[in-house]
């Protein structure tokens, strides 16, 4: 573990090595998406091949697949998010040319990527199901042919819906538009607390001087079973509103931890990554975007459902992990799961808080004849995919602009999606500035035109006035901190926060990057190295702007990868991420995956950094007491001195600390809250391959609330 100060080497050099050190033999054994090495591990001692796979095994494998695999790879095997397609030409060319034992070895050694692995029998049966399915002419499941004997099928219970615990919040105070603009100091009313997305609490009772006395006030257990747990609690007038996996919404007494009411909005099971990262509140309405792409309004007083509207059709792969923000009585929400081929495309949309009626929609993928429609080369409209907005946006009330980041084009590598590095693919990997009343685009800035390695720029947009200039800061998976003029979108500067070798240079006047030649010239089924990996740089764990000292405190990750694009079938319902990856340690990191660093908003220079083996898996919460709170994979929750980066308090919790810490007050007393949980895509999966000695428990999702005891 190291701390370095201003004297740390500046990473703003113009040119990067084209190729980083190759993965070690150890890293090669930890390939995700490639079976050969894993097959050697599992099958090395096997003397003879297994008997032929049978229809009965395939039928039983379908049951296991539906229960353990379909939430990520989808019931129709098309894949989604980071889960690859398990059907089509890419799968057939990779696996049907090999022995069934190799596929079984990979399934048993690596699947699922989080939680308990499949047993040997289950792995054999799932492999039989996949192989049999992909031998059908269409390459999609044939339910009648593969149905297992009725006695082996266990029906899943219907998910619970509606109020499951009745209760009432007394003396509720409606949340006004003015309160959203200027929240009470003790409240946390939206994603990252303020429209400007600072993740900063002005509360200052807990300080560097007394934080050593911080202790646990209470714990609330959460659901472990239905996806990744990465929530941000809302707090209003001492009431905590919490969304858990599967769509469980709860109102808790912030002082005692007592449950007031509980509602189930669904889907009641893991969908896609399974996490929901924020709620919204306005007047007497609590707004929840569900993982299966619905928007639900609950009565904040009782938990009773008021309305529900469908954002997008879940059967076409759409999903959500980011909730809404409310502007002028409209709930504005993004969308995920936009990687399937077909006429539907990704969008940001707004809904009337009172009725749930659609107010406007802005499509994030430009089609032929539209502005930006000529940036996809010769690719037909039905195959232009990606542009998800799975992190809640921010808002400038003075300019009346809301700012959203967009994800990369799909499939991940341009060789797989049928474009070139010269085809920018608007509006992917961009910052969008929209009028919140009409949804009209005012300006856009594309950070990574033609992005080709799943290093997108979808994350938080932090709004700070610097030297009398309205600026916007954001950082994506490439680990580059960008500074834009938020009036116009003009590029103002950048800083490289971790080692990167994707771009040979970045134009100092425009910010336009130049990719390495081998990235430009990539081909399908050829490995391309890059630093950082899909873990980021920076990922969903939000930075914090500490206003008193003028620094951005950013959780970062240090890992590298090789990526190989697959051949993708151009057919309705196909698509997906379409790439294999293998990961290795970042050069110069000394094996430290986690990095926490502070950057001056005026100079963009690094003030300090702290590095450790375990990745940081929460956003940063900074406070008026001069503290920055953050949690990690190794169960540690810490407070850092904002000025120096020194650790001033720490504790160890039940499992991986992940989510969005918040601070609030009840009856004049300050509290700090954070969640633990499981799952979460690359930020969880990559460390499993390069830091396998870190083993948090596979249970223990909970909300922890801390206080400094009153003096006696």
Residue of 310, 289, 285 whose CA lies nearest to 298:
285
Instruction: Name, in order, each residue with C-beta under 8 angstroms of 347's C-beta and a sequence gap of 6 or more.
Output: 312, 335, 361, 362, 363, 364
Residue 137 pLDDT exceeds 60: no
Taking alpha carbons only, the member of 88, 22, 97 closest to residue 566 is 88
For residues 505 and 431, give the distance between their C-alpha atoms in angstroms, rounded to a whole number: 21
Q: What is the pLDDT of residue 229?
A: 92
DSSP code of residue 206:
S
Does residue 152 have a pLDDT over 70? Answer: no
Other beta carbons within 10 angstroms of residue 444's beta carbon come to 18
Supply angle C-alpha 547, 532, 453, rounded to 5. Answer: 115
Q: What is the pLDDT of residues 615-649, one digit of tens each?
A: 999 999 999 999 999 999 999 999 999 999 999 99
Would you call the peptide bond into 411 cis, given omega within 30 degrees of 0 as the criterion?
Answer: yes
Inter-residue contact 41 to 107 (CB < 8 Å): no
Q: Cα(first)–Cα(last) distance of the chain, in Å?
A: 37
pLDDT at site 157: 61
Neighbours of 504 (CB within 10 A): 17
Pair type for strands 621-623 and 627-631: antiparallel
Q: Give the residue-averaged pLDDT of 104-109.
A: 72
Question: Which residue has 């103002």 as its token pair?
Answer: 492
- Can you say whether the dihedral through the CA atoms of 537, 541, 542, 544 is positive or negative? negative
Among 26-30, 193-197, 403-407, the range scoring the smallest mean pLDDT is 26-30
Helix, strand, coil proportions of the chain in percent (round to 5)? 15, 30, 55
Q: Which of 627, 453, 457, 599 lies closest to 531, judged by CA?
A: 453
- In terms of pLDDT, which residue wins out, 40 or 586? 586
Confidence of residue 94 (pLDDT cuts 50, 70, 90): low
Handedness of CA 310, 316, 320, 324 (dihedral sign): negative
pLDDT in tens, 481-502: 999 999 999 999 999 999 999 9
Q: Which residue has the tokens 């889960």?
A: 83
Q: In the prediction, which pLDDT does 632 show?
A: 98
Q: Which residue spans within 613-690 are E strands per DSSP?
A: 621-623, 627-631, 636-641, 647-652, 662-666, 669-676
For residues 302 and 148, give the distance between their C-alpha atoms in angstroms, rounded to a whole number.
44
Predicted pLDDT of residue 49 = 52
**What is the per-residue pLDDT across 410-442, written as a single tens digit (0 to 9) for each?**
999 999 999 998 999 999 999 999 999 999 999
Strand-pairing partners, residue 396, are: 401
pLDDT digits (tens, 9 = 90+) for 499-520: 999 999 999 999 999 999 999 9
Phi-psi region of 369 (alpha: psi -120 to 50; beta: other; left: phi over 0): left
pLDDT given for residue 194 in this prediction: 98
CA distance 83 to 272: 9
In this predicted structure, what is the pLDDT of residue 46? Answer: 41
Supply the DSSP symbol for 147. Answer: P
Region 226-244: mean pLDDT is 94
Asked if the peptide bond before residue 110 counts as cis, ω within 30 degrees of 0, the response is: no
| pLDDT for the residue numbered 91 | 73
pLDDT at 109 (0 to 100): 64
**Partners of residue 554 on adjacent β-strands:** 597
Contact call for residues 302 and 321 (beta carbons, < 8 A): no
Share the mean pLDDT of the chain.
88
pLDDT at 655 over 60: yes
Average pLDDT of the residues in 186-211: 98
- What would the DSSP string read from start to end of 444-503? EEESSTT--SS----S--EEEEETTEEEEEEE-TT-EEEEEETTT--EEEEEE-S---SE
Tell me the pLDDT tens digit for each residue of 391-410.
999 999 999 999 999 999 99
DSSP label at residue 193:
S
pLDDT reading at 35 higher than 60:
no
Residue keyed to tokens 């085809």: 423
Give the whole-angstrom CA distance, residue 220 versus residue 700.
Answer: 10
Strand pairing category for 394-396 and 409-410: unpaired
How far apart CA 551 and CA 543 sit, in angstroms, is 10
The pair of three-digit structure tokens given for residue 491, joined into one six-digit string: 């590029």
Q: What is the pLDDT of residues 441-471, one digit of tens each?
A: 999 999 999 999 999 999 999 999 999 999 9
Instruction: Determine the pLDDT at residue 116.
Output: 64
**CA atoms in the 13 A half-sphere facing the CB of 387:** 23
Q: Can you read off the two tokens belonging to residue 209?
A: 């001087």
Q: What is the pLDDT of residues 259-312, one digit of tens each?
A: 999 999 999 887 877 789 999 999 999 999 999 999 999 999 999 999 999 999
Structure confidence at residue 53 as a pLDDT band (50, 70, 90):
confident
* Residue 151 in this model has a pLDDT that exceeds 50: no
Structure-derived torsion over alpha carbons of residues 250, 255, 256, 257, reported in degrees to the nearest 10: 30
Nearest-angstrom CA–CA distance, 651 and 656: 12
Place 51 in a pLDDT band, splitting at 50, 70 and 90.
low
SS3 134: helix
Opening angle at CA 377, ends 371 and 382, nearest 5 = 75
Give which of 244, 327, 326 is closest to 290, Cα–Cα: 244
For position 17, what pLDDT does the model report? 44
Q: What is the mean pLDDT of residues 552-567?
A: 97
The Cα 530–Cα 16 span in angstroms is: 11
- Cα–Cα distance between 638 and 610 in angstroms, integer? 12
73 or 369, greater pLDDT: 369
Predicted local confidence at residue 104, as pLDDT: 78
Looking at residue 224, what is its pLDDT?
84
- Confidence class of residue 227 from pLDDT cuts 50, 70 and 90? confident
Q: What percent of the chain has pLDDT over 90?
A: 73
Output the pTM of the full model.
Answer: 0.87
> Greater confidence, 199 or 9?
199
Sheet architecture: strand order including 305-310: 280-282, 285-289, 294-299, 305-310
The CA distance from 490 to 484, in Å, is 6
pLDDT band (50, 70, 90) for residue 54: confident
How many C-beta neighbours within 10 Å does residue 311 have?
A: 23
């Amino acid at each position: 573990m190291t701390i370095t100060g201003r004297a740390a080497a500046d990473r703003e050099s113009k040119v990067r090595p084209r190729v980083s050190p190759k993965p070690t033999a150890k890293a090669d054994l930890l390939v995700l998406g490639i079976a050969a090495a894993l097959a050697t591990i599992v099958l090395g001692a096997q003397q003879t091949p297994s008997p032929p796979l049978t229809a009965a095994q395939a039928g039983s494998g379908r049951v296991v697949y539906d229960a353990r695999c379909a939430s990520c790879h989808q019931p129709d095997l098309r894949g989604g998010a980071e889960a690859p397609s398990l059907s089509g030409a890419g799968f057939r060319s990779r696996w049907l040319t090999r022995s069934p034992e190799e596929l079984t070895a990979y399934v048993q050694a690596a699947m699922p990527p989080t939680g308990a692995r499949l047993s040997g029998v289950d792995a054999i049966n799932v492999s039989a199901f996949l192989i049999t399915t992909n031998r059908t002419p269409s390459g999609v499941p044939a339910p009648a042919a593969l149905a297992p004997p009725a006695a082996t099928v266990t029906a899943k219970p219907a998910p619970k819906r509606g109020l499951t615990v009745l209760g009432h919040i007394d003396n509720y105070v409606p949340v006004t538009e003015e309160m959203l603009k200027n929240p009470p100091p003790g409240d946390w009313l939206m994603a990252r607390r303020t429209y400007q997305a600072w993740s900063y609490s002005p509360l200052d009772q807990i300080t560097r001087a007394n934080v050593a006395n911080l202790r646990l006030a209470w714990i609330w257990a959460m659901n472990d079973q239905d996806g990744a747990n990465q929530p941000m609690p809302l707090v209003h007038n001492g009431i905590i509103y919490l969304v858990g996996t599967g769509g469980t919404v709860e109102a808790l007494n912030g002082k005692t931890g007592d449950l007031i009411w509980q509602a189930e909005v669904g889907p009641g099971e893991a969908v896609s990554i399974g996490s929901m990262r924020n709620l919204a509140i306005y007047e007497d309405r609590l707004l929840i975007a569900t993982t299966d792409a619905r928007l639900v309004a609950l009565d904040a007083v009782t938990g009773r459902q008021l309305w529900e509207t469908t954002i997008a059709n879940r059967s076409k792969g759409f999903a959500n992990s980011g909730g809404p923000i409310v502007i002028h009585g409209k709930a504005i929400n993004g969308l995920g799961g936009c990687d399937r081929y077909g006429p539907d495309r990704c969008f940001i949309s707004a809904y009337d808080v009172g009725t749930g009626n659609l107010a406007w929609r802005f499509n994030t993928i430009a089609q032929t004849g539209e502005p930006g429609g000529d940036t996809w080369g010769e690719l037909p409209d039905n195959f232009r995919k990606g542009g998800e907005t799975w992190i809640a946006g921010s808002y400038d009330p003075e300019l009346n602009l809301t700012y959203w980041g967009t994800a990369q084009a799909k499939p991940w590598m341009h060789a797989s999606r049928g474009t070139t590095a010269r085809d920018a693919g608007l509006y992917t990997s961009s910052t969008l500035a929209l009028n919140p009343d009409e949804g009209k685009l005012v300006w856009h800035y594309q950070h990574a035109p033609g992005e080709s390695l799943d290093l997108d720029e979808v994350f938080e947009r932090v709004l700070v006035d610097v030297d009398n200039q309205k600026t916007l800061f954001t950082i994506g998976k490439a680990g580059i901190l960008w500074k834009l003029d938020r009036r116009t979108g003009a590029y103002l500067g950048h800083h490289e926060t971790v080692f990167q070798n994707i771009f040979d240079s970045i134009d100092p006047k425009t910010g336009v990057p130049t990719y390495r030649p081998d990235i430009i010239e990539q081909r399908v089924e050829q490995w391309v190295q890059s630093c950082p990996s899909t873990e980021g740089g920076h990922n969903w764990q939000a930075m914090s702007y500490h206003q008193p000292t003028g620094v951005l405190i950013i959780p970062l990750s240090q890992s590298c990868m090789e990526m190989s694009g697959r051949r993708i079938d151009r057919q309705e319902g196909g698509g997906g991420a379409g790439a294999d990856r293998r990961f290795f340690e970042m050069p110069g990191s000394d094996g430290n995956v986690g990095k926490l660093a502070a950057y001056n908003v005026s100079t963009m220079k690094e003030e300090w950094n702290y590095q450790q083996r375990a990745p940081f898996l929460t956003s940063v919460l900074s406070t008026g007491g001069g503290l920055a709170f953050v949690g990690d994979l190794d169960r540690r929750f810490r407070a850092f001195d904002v000025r120096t980066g020194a650790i001033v308090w720490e504790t160890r919790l039940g499992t991986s600390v992940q989510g969005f810490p918040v601070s609030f007050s009840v009856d004049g007393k300050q509290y700090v809250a954070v969640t633990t949980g499981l799952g979460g895509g690359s930020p969880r999966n990559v460390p499993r391959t390069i830091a396998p000695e870190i083993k948090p428990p596979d249970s223990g999702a909970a909300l922890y609330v801390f206080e400094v005891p009153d003096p006696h």
